[in-house]
Amino acid sequence: MDLGLQDKVALVTGGSKGIGLGIVRSLIAEGARVANVNRSEAEGRALEAEYSQQGHDCYFIQGDLTDTSACQNAVEQTLQRFGRIDVVVNNAGVNDGVGLEDGPAAFLESLKRNLIHYYAIVHFSLDALKKSKGCVINIGSKVCETGQGGTSGYAASKGGINGLTREWAVDLAAHGIRVNTVLPAETWTPLYEKCLAAMPDPAAAKAEIERLIPLGQRFTTIEELADMVVFLASPRSSHTTGQIIFVDGGYTHFDRKCTSPSDITSFGAAAD
Ligand code: NAP
């Protein structure tokens, strides 16, 4: 299937690692030109050089997105380099464990790490998106649907992203701009691997999480997430907007009984 992304320009936040890196690679594989915003330089510059050698654009922009001026600068640099923006992928974020006991100042900092820059990047890209009749894809999290405990800032941010997805889809429909969110639950990334490696029995911890994922008892891959993002970025999804799409192997919505280790799968079937 030709996704029609050849030479389109995508601004991706947090595209040097994890899910964002998968999104960048998939966009470039479809012929898109990418601007990639991150704090740390090493991976972003290496990625830029790797693609430059192959004749592709993966333009690195250094910036900490918690600073609103860095968001504005990222949009301006993308426009200076490419002259247009067709796709915005808001991806950078961190489950920073700012809970109820941490207080309002820490909560606000968490919103800056996870929510405010999603708004700022789209705000500063608005004129360019209107010109290109572009699209926005936000990366959310199951945490705002299920709760996790101890992570109020992240949960509120991700809930806010779902709300903004519907709000912006309405705002921007008249301009032909589509807005959608791709929502992961458990996606296997180097960071996830590092976190589990710090546990007393990493293999057992991984198996315990996998058991809870109905489809295939395995983590979602970065590529599976990226494929959905790239499809939503493409004109092949031209009538899809305001949607929150769970790429999670059924983790968030399926009946808990289907991943139960005990034999209760048929319990309650008559009543349900
Ligand atoms: P990751 O591996 O830590 O990658 C995050 C990327 O974002 C990095 O390249 C990081 O680069 C960049 N970044 C983070 N904060 C930034 C900031 N303030 N300014 C600039 N760049 C920043 O994370 P991931 O697991 O791929 O997560 C990506 C998205 O998926 C996040 O929104 C996360 O909430 C969501 N998600 C992931 C999972 C999962 O299972 N992995 C589950 C649910 C939701 P630098 O550190 O170099 O800045």
User: From ligand 1's centre to the CA of 203, what distance in Å?
Assistant: 23
Domain contains 203:
no
pLDDT of 176 strictly over 70: yes
From the list 51, 118, 154, 251, the catalytic residue is: 154
Ligand 1 atom nearest to 15, measured from its CA = 9
Give the range of the structural domain holding residue 177, as residue numbers without chain letter. Answer: 9-187+221-246
Tell me if 193 sits within 8 A of 221, measured CB to CB: no
**pLDDT range class, residue 49, cuts 50, 70, 90:** very high
Domain contains 206:
no
pLDDT of 74 strictly over 80: yes
Domain contains 271:
no
For the chain, the average pLDDT equals 96
Percent of the chain clearing pLDDT 90 (strictly above): 93
Residue type, 58: C
Tell me if 105 sits within 8 A of 136, measured CB to CB: no
pLDDT of 270 strictly over 60: no
Domain contains 257:
no
Q: How far is Cα 97 from Cα 112, in angstroms, rounded to an integer?
A: 14
What is the total count of domains within the chain?
1
For the question of whether the overall pTM of this predicted structure is more than 0.75, the answer is yes
51 is catalytic: no
pLDDT at 1: 86
* Residue ranges lining ligand 1, Cβ < 6 Å: 14, 16-20, 37-40, 64-66, 91-95, 113, 139, 141, 184, 186-187, 189, 191-192
The pLDDT of 95-119, averaged and rounded, is 98
Domain contains 56:
yes
Domain contains 92:
yes
Q: How far is Cα 262 from Cα 33, in angstroms, rounded to an integer?
A: 50
Domain contains 4:
no
pLDDT of 204-245, one tens digit each?
999 999 999 999 999 999 999 999 999 999 999 999 999 999
Could you write out the DSSP letters of every residue in 200-233? SSHHHHHHHHHHT-TTTSSPBPHHHHHHHHHHHH
Domain contains 214:
no
CATH of the domain at 59: 3.40.50.720
Per the structure block, which two tokens stand in for 262?
Answer: 């005990």
- Report the Cα 135 to chain-centroid distance in Å: 14
